[in-house]
Amino acid sequence: MSSVPSCPSCRQPMEVHRFASHAGPELELDICFACQGMWFDRHENLKLAPAAVVGLFKLLHEHREDQHLPLATSMACPRCVAPLQKGFDVVRSGRYMIYRCGRQHGRFSTFSSFMTEKGFVRHMTRPEIDDMAKRVGAIYCTSCGAPVDIRKDHACPYCRAAFSLIDPQAVARAMEGYAEAGARAKLHAAQAAPVDIGDALVALERDRTRAERERQKKAFTSTSDDDDSSITGDLLAVGVGLVWAMLKAS
């Protein structure tokens, strides 16, 4: 690819990142961190090697405090600018949304959809949902990205997906074939550590609020409230953080 493709959603240039593939040359993935999504040329998503998945988690973790944009209602193919067609794919761990070019150029996938597609998510248990409802008012649906009131709704009212969470154990299982024996043992130890998701959500949002305040200070705009009750928990970012902590420990 000679030119940098535009994000199908916000139309800004995407970041091009190179990743190891199972066979043949490296893969180039085009990523937009603001829109939380990436573009896969035809079949690219099937070829990511485990080392590339590790690299991807590292990148997502590094960008955890980036500002997010809502997805545009109409998206354009970065190769031919034709409108992308929205559809659902189904895997064992759930349904996920995908945006395809009708001319077979490829597909735009949100980070959440990618995690679901790879089998990296699991459904949340009722006690987990109840506990989280006490800590945060809303969460972003892992399936479609919409903010959802978890105290009222039992599934996402927009895409009907059950509440799900990145599962470090599922990621670890996928990595095991790749990790060396020593790393594998540490992987097991790391994934056995229990984590309070509610705590992790609140901590992440505090970091983000702080980062946002820094940004506003730099822009010389005034800032007023830093109110915890308006938190919308970002399960995806929390899950990425947990996985990255595990991968780093191994």
Residues near Zn ion, by CB under 5 A:
7, 9-10, 32, 34-35, 77, 79-80, 101, 103, 105, 141, 143-144, 146, 156, 158-159, 161
The minimum distance between CB 68 and Zn ion, in angstroms, equals 10
Neighbours of 105 (CB within 10 A): 18
Of 98 and 159, which CB lies nearer to Zn ion in the complex structure? 159
Of 155 and 185, which CB lies nearer to Zn ion in the complex structure? 155
Of 123 and 186, which CB lies nearer to Zn ion in the complex structure? 123
Are the beta carbons of 143 and 96 closer than 8 angstroms? yes
Of 88 and 158, which CB lies nearer to Zn ion in the complex structure? 158
Q: What angle do CA 140, 145, 151 make, to 5 degrees?
A: 30
The minimum distance between CB 5 and Zn ion, in angstroms, equals 10
The minimum distance between CB 140 and Zn ion, in angstroms, equals 9
3-state secondary structure of 85: strand
The minimum distance between CB 62 and Zn ion, in angstroms, equals 17
Per this entry, what is the length of the chain? 250
Are the beta carbons of 140 and 234 closer than 8 angstroms? yes
Q: What angle do CA 145, 137, 197 make, to 5 degrees?
A: 75
